[in-house]
Structure 1
Amino acid sequence: MSEGTSTNEEQSPESTAFSNDLVLTQDGTHTLYSARFGQWYHSVHGALEESRRVFLELGLAYFREVFPERREVRILEMGFGTGFNALLTLLEAGELSIRYTSLEAYPISPAEYRQLNYDAVMGSGELQALHEAEWNIPVVISPSFMLEKVHAELQAYLKTAKGPFDLVYYDAFAPGSQPELWTPEVFAGIARLLPSGGILTTYSAKGDVRRALQAAGFRVEKHPGPGRKREIVRAIKD
């Protein structure tokens, strides 16, 4: 969920994150603290609760509801971070075929992702495979889930990205930490990759974020957030 300068080692970029602290959130799942950005990767009040509500319920479940005839969904995630959103999506794939593209400029290290307890909590075994998948090429993780991790800044990616995508998980660090990723120009670049009716979900419901999305051509909905978070956003491209 972070952004910065990409490396020239495209196939196996080294971790460029500063030292991150591992903590157990209130729902029993881990999160990391990014010293580089001064932000948690997930809510300390519940990493699973947050990811499930913001991205799975408002995003993937809503896509199924609106497009019940579709059997393939193309997801763009900003950014990969701990891999938890990707893991939850893989586990929820069901009958869908998911093509999952995830951007990350500062990958966490193997020492960090091997400590995360997501597989133990979810009863799964795919987290390490997600993290160890090669960068910048599509990798089949399961028969229903293809992952392409892109080691690049979002702004650079948007200059050449083709799309289309059906659903965007917007999980950049908070606007106060990375304001350059929450602008009308960035959201307009994302909108160009979505068809009419395309969906973007994010945890930030700040007024500046909502106005930036509206300026980029999205219809913005506010929804109740997880835990102590009052509101989160789903945006639909008109």
Structure 2
Amino acid sequence: MEFVKTADGSKTLYHEEVGEHYHSKHGAHQESVHVFLNTGLRYWLEKESSGSASVLEIGFGTGLNFLMTADYCHQHQISLDYVGIEAFPLSQELIQQSDYGQYVADVIWESFVEKYPNAINSRTKLLDTVQVEVAHQKVMEFHSDELFDVIYFDAFAEIHQPEMWTPETLAHVCQFLKSGGVFVTYAITGNLKRAMKALGFSIEKAPGAPGKREMLRATKL
């Protein structure tokens, strides 16, 4: 695997075996902020007027979505509890090569890089208000007594990883979302909309990140 530069200057990792990039080649940083932080977490925070949030990410990958979220919460004094499911965690060395430190406060980046190995399968405090865990397991093996406020669904595209987008996988993931919680993903298809409606979600089309016209946001009723 190797990092490549995307259209906004940020890097993404290309996974040769899967045949896909971890983030949009139209702009990794832009996509992360637009799809997950703004359309997901910030939307939920404004809706709930909350000073704390819990996020479950499907596909932790390079940690970009976590970093954008942690930095925002740090800036706005919001307490963040973050769990990312990742079947194949990256090495600490690869994480450092991402250069994502330029997009977040030094204290966030330095603590994340240092403590990343500790966070694999263990809830780890990065700052007083930010804790993270990388659950090293396949998504269908993940179980938790905790319910989350927001789900970031950032699996590889359905054409490359169809098993991640089945009604069964979506049902398994969404059982960990609170009532009123928000599910966001960069994709939007007829099958995805039908599956989310069947699970009892109110769905809406939201403007997509650069390179995509629309994306899905769904709220658990």
Q: Same fold (TM over 0.5)?
A: yes
CA distance in 1, matches of 2:164, 2:60: 15
1:22 partnered with 2:7: no
* Paired position in structure 2 for 1:144: 129
* Paired position in structure 2 for 1:3: none
TM-score, normalising length from structure 2?
Answer: 0.92
1:71 partnered with 2:51: yes
Q: Which secondary structure state, in structure 2, belongs to the residue aligned with residue 211 of structure 1?
A: helix
Q: Identify which of structures 1 and 2 has the higher relative contact order when contacts are C-alpha pairs closer than 8 Å and 6+ apart.
A: 1
Of 198, 213, 216, the match for 2:181: 198
Shift of 1:138: 0.8
Amino acid paired to 1:31: T
Aligned ranges 1:78-117 → 2 under 5 Å: 78-93=58-73, 94-117=76-99
Amino acid paired to 1:21: E
- 8 Å contact 2:81–2:132 — kept in the other structure? yes
Segments of structure 1 that go 5 or more residues without pairing to the other structure are: 1-19
Q: Which has the higher strand share?
A: 2
- 8 Å contact 1:30–1:116 — kept in the other structure? yes
- Coordinate RMSD, CA, aligned: 1.5
CA distance in 2, matches of 1:75, 1:111: 25
TM-score, normalising length from structure 1?
Answer: 0.86
Q: Which secondary structure state, in structure 1, belongs to the residue aligned with residue 140 of structure 2?
A: helix
- 8 Å contact 1:185–1:216 — kept in the other structure? no
CA distance in 1, matches of 2:103, 2:56: 25
CA distance in 1, matches of 2:161, 2:80: 29
1:119 partnered with 2:119: no
Aligned ranges 1:1-238 → 2 under 5 Å: 20-68=1-49, 70-93=50-73, 94-124=76-106, 125-126=109-110, 127-129=112-114, 131-157=116-142, 160-238=143-221
Q: Which has the higher helix share?
A: 2
Segments of structure 2 that go 5 or more residues without pairing to the other structure are: none
**Identity %, equivalent residues:** 38
